[in-house]
Structures are given as structure tokens and as C-alpha cells.
Amino acid sequence: TTQIRLAHRPVGEPTDACFETTTEELPALAEGQVLLATRYLSLDPYMRGRMSAAKSYAEPVPVGGVMVGATVCEVLESRSDRRAVGDLVLAYTGWQTHAVADARHMRSLDPDAAPVSTALGVLGMPGFTAYAGLLEIGRPQPGETVVVAAAMGPVGSAVGQIARIKGARAVGIAGGPDKVRALTEEFGFDAAIDHRSATFGEELKAATPEGVDVYFENVGGPVGDAVTARLNTYARVPVCGLVAGYNATSAPEGPDRLPAYLGRVLTQSLTVRGFIQDEFVPTHTEAFQRDMTGWVADGSVRYREDVVDGLENAPEAFRGLLAGRNVGKLVIRVS
């Protein structure tokens, strides 16, 4: 198997020197194990956190360890009666071409039901994050305004489209004119704005004439500040991610903005609630699978994938993910 390992912990943007490619023989299968060939590897923003030593909700990847990640794999050999050769599965084997894994630690995929790569995106963890975070914490009501940034990504695009299904107005924020156009033309957002525009603040105001009732926080940074200023009384803020700061090496410049922020939380009766999607797996998986599969099938939720060929291109694609160069769910086609 060929693997990409964490060679050094990054300072700022992960450079090529942070990654190391190795090749090793896999052990013979023990009873209950399968040999997997990776078809698709998911690249997700949370992996930047795993590269750092800082304590988080999950253990960091050790230096020298294989980079972690969800994968769609094909079973090449099996010593388990749970899996047959040729089965396609959702596994968590990381940045490598092949792996030996316990046959219990994977989920079967039906290639006739949906393209298997969607198990990493709209029908997988990111889609689930959008569904559970928006409906459980955001609770959009008909006629309300929902704002989401990183809106072309798998989480944001699902947030906006689910908000519309629930009768709310969806406003998407993304980087660059092509993404902004796709949000309204392809994904049905009511309005979309470019966070790199010199007049972003005015455009946000124009797109949210009645203020913001739900801000699904994916990015933080200046975008988060601008949307916070538009929040209505009783607005809900599911805090899902803060990708604008994942490569940061120092605190943002300027005065401490926390007191003013908490002042708003108080005087406007805001609900600001962070979450890691795992929390909702026991309670929301069944409804998610039923609703999302239906919405994707009937076209009310669309999705885009950004497929990059070759495991060797994963480090560069990952840098692009944190900088907004991906358009849609980023996956590596490994074989």
C-alpha cells in the first residue's frame, strides 16, 4: 500500500514537507478482516485540526502516522462472512491506496442507489452535518432568513437547500463570481454574495433586508463578524466550523471583540450553540437518510463534487480546500 503520512506538524498552511509518502507491505488477513482498495478518499477541513497537536474533540494524528479520513473502498479479499469480494463500503482507512481492516468497521454501499462517492458528501457526514445542525439548532421557520458561508461546499450547499425546503429564504456566501452564480442558478439560493467583494458589507445588507434569523456558522473571521451584525432578536447560530482560522498562527488583529459579541448575545437573546455532528448520529440518522435520499432523488437537493485524480495530489488539494479553490465536495479518486 502507498500511504501519505504526517511528517511534520504544520505552522500555518500545510506545506509539502508536512507530508511523507511511504510504501509498505500489508499483513496477511486475520479472521474477520478484509483487504480494501481505496476508490475515493474524502478531504475535509477537520483534517487540519488533526494535523496539530492542540487538544480538540478528537486525538491528533501522531507524527509519522497515516493521515486519517473517510474512504469509499472495494473489498479485494475477505476473511469475514460479513463482506464479499467486490463489495463497496464506506470505511475510515485514511490517505492510503489499500488497507486491512476489521469487516465490522464499515458500512455497505449500494452503487445502484446513488453514486458511491456521495457517501462522503451529500449523503454522508457533510450532508448529515448540515441536516442535523440546521434543523436541530437553527430551526428555520417559513419566511425567515438563513445565511450560510462556504456555501458551495458540501455542508453549506445542503444548509441553503434544506432551508428553502423548510420555507426559509437562503442567502449563500462564497468566494468568487463563479461560485456565487452557481448558488442562485444551480442550487436555488435566493441570494448569493462574494466575500471577497470590496462591497461585501453593503451586498450582505441588501441581501438580508429583514435581518438574519439563522446564521449557520461555517467560517468565522470577517464574514462571521459581518453576519453577526445583521442578526435579529432570537436568532439562532449553529456553530459548525471556523475554517477562516484553521491555518491561523496568531489571534486576529485589532481590539478584543468578545465583550461586544457577548453583549449582542445578551441584548438580542441569541442562541449560539456549537456542535460536532457525531452528537446527532444516534437521534437523526434515520430521518436524515430518509429525507436526504428523497431530496437528492427528486432534485430538491443538488450537489457538486470536485474530483481530483491521484492520491499524490491530496496535499495540494487539501491546501486548496482551506483556501477555497475547491468547487463542491472535494474527493480524491485514488483508483
Provide, rounded to whole angstroms, the least separation between the CB of residue 215 and ligand NDP: 13
**By CB under 6 A, residue 321 contacts ligand NDP:** yes
Provide, rounded to whole angstroms, the least separation between the CB of residue 128 and ligand NDP: 8
Question: Could you tell me which of 179, 136, 135 has the C-alpha nearest to residue 161?
Answer: 135
Contact at 8 Å (CB) between 69 and 47? yes
Q: Which stretch binds ligand NDP (CB under 6 A): 75-83, 203-211, 255-263, 321-329?
A: 321-329
Q: Which of 175, 183, 272, 304 binds ligand NDP (CB under 6 A)?
A: 175
Rg (CA), the chain: 20
User: 154: Cβ–Cβ under 8 A, 6 or more apart, which residues?
Assistant: 121, 122, 126, 127, 130, 303, 328, 329
**By CB under 6 A, residue 275 contacts ligand NDP:** yes
**By CB under 6 A, residue 45 contacts ligand NDP:** yes
Contact at 8 Å (CB) between 88 and 94? no
**Nearer of residues 18 and 193 to ligand NDP, judged by Cβ:** 193
**Nearer of residues 228 and 277 to ligand NDP, judged by Cβ:** 277
Q: Which of 8, 10, 29, 46 binds ligand NDP (CB under 6 A)?
A: 46
Q: Which of 41, 137, 148, 150 binds ligand NDP (CB under 6 A)?
A: 150
**By CB under 6 A, residue 276 contacts ligand NDP:** yes
Residues contacting ligand NDP: total by CB under 6 A: 32
**By CB under 6 A, residue 51 contacts ligand NDP:** no
**Nearer of residues 105 and 196 to ligand NDP, judged by Cβ:** 196
Q: Which of 119, 326, 331, 332 binds ligand NDP (CB under 6 A)?
A: 326
Provide, rounded to whole angstroms, the least separation between the CB of residue 289 and ligand NDP: 17
Provide, rounded to whole angstroms, the least separation between the CB of residue 211 and ligand NDP: 21
Q: Which of 124, 138, 153, 160 binds ligand NDP (CB under 6 A)?
A: 153
CA distance 146 to 139: 10
By rule CB under 6 A, what string of x and - marks binding of each residue 94-133 to ligand NDP? --------------------------------x--x----
**By CB under 6 A, residue 70 contacts ligand NDP:** no
Q: Which stretch binds ligand NDP (CB under 6 A): 10-18, 111-119, 239-247, 293-301?
A: 239-247
Q: What residues line the site for ligand NDP (CB under 6 A)?
A: 44-46, 126, 129, 149-150, 152-156, 174-176, 179, 195, 218-219, 221, 223, 240-241, 243-244, 275-277, 321, 324, 326, 330
